[in-house]
Structure 1
Amino acid sequence: MRGPGVGLDLQAAPTTGASTTLPNAPARSSPTPSWPTTFGPATASATAGGVAATATAKVARVRWAMGDCTTVTCHGPGNPCAKSRGATPPPDCGHLCERPSSEEPGGRYRGTATATRTTTWTAPVLNDGGTFTEARATGFTADVREVQVVN
């Protein structure tokens, strides 16, 4: 089974592009195309020498160290940004960046998403099985820009 996939969905400002957001615009844990096979549950079976084993893995949580000195823990895959929510973070998994990243090295926040996955396995012919937990971290960057409006 593949390791847990992670994705960050930034609600982009109209003029800045998909990898850039503004202060107080939502950033959310969001499904990526690989999540059905990496977030789980994912089950795999194998047989060797007449012994069959089955393992089922599921991500229990993703801890986002957002790069702006805050952390967010998500207990599900999250949801993509929706314009209808405006600047309100979703109740399941969201974050608002409150300041621009311009003072950070390279002008971007550098964060880490750490997925904790639990795997349960069984080998019935051996009357054996168990559970183990693993964590895998993935780095990301986010460009948060300040915009001044003149009326």
Structure 2
Amino acid sequence: MKTSTPKQTAYALLRITMGVNFFAHGLVRIPKLNGFRNWMVNTFENSLLPNWSVYAWGSILPFVELAIGILLIVGYKTYQTTIAGALVIITLILGSCLIENWDWAATQMLYSIFFYFLISNIEQNYFALDHIKIRV
């Protein structure tokens, strides 16, 4: 039986932490989806983005966050999921920059660093469903 390394343990804890963060974002937004979506439309009303695109993004973002969060927590399709998470962050950074909210953009840059670490160290992903072999 292979034993884990401290790097594998640290990777799992960071992956799960990012998963809990994304999961919680989606979890708290879904029950108040209309309010969240309306807040987004109002926040971006003076941006270059058309209202319909902000409305659509505000409608799906909580579900995307929830799904990415669940997949990160359990470590399923981790490589693909971390890329999806990074793409969400890129989209959020673009939105933050378009409304000149540099504080949001700075915080989102921290998320991008965490996703960089998770993606570039995927070989450390030991404690994950990705490694469970199911035999039928």
Please give the TM-score of this superposition, normalised by the length of structure 1.
0.27
Query: Higher Cα Rg: structure 1 or 2?
Result: 1
More strand by percentage = 1
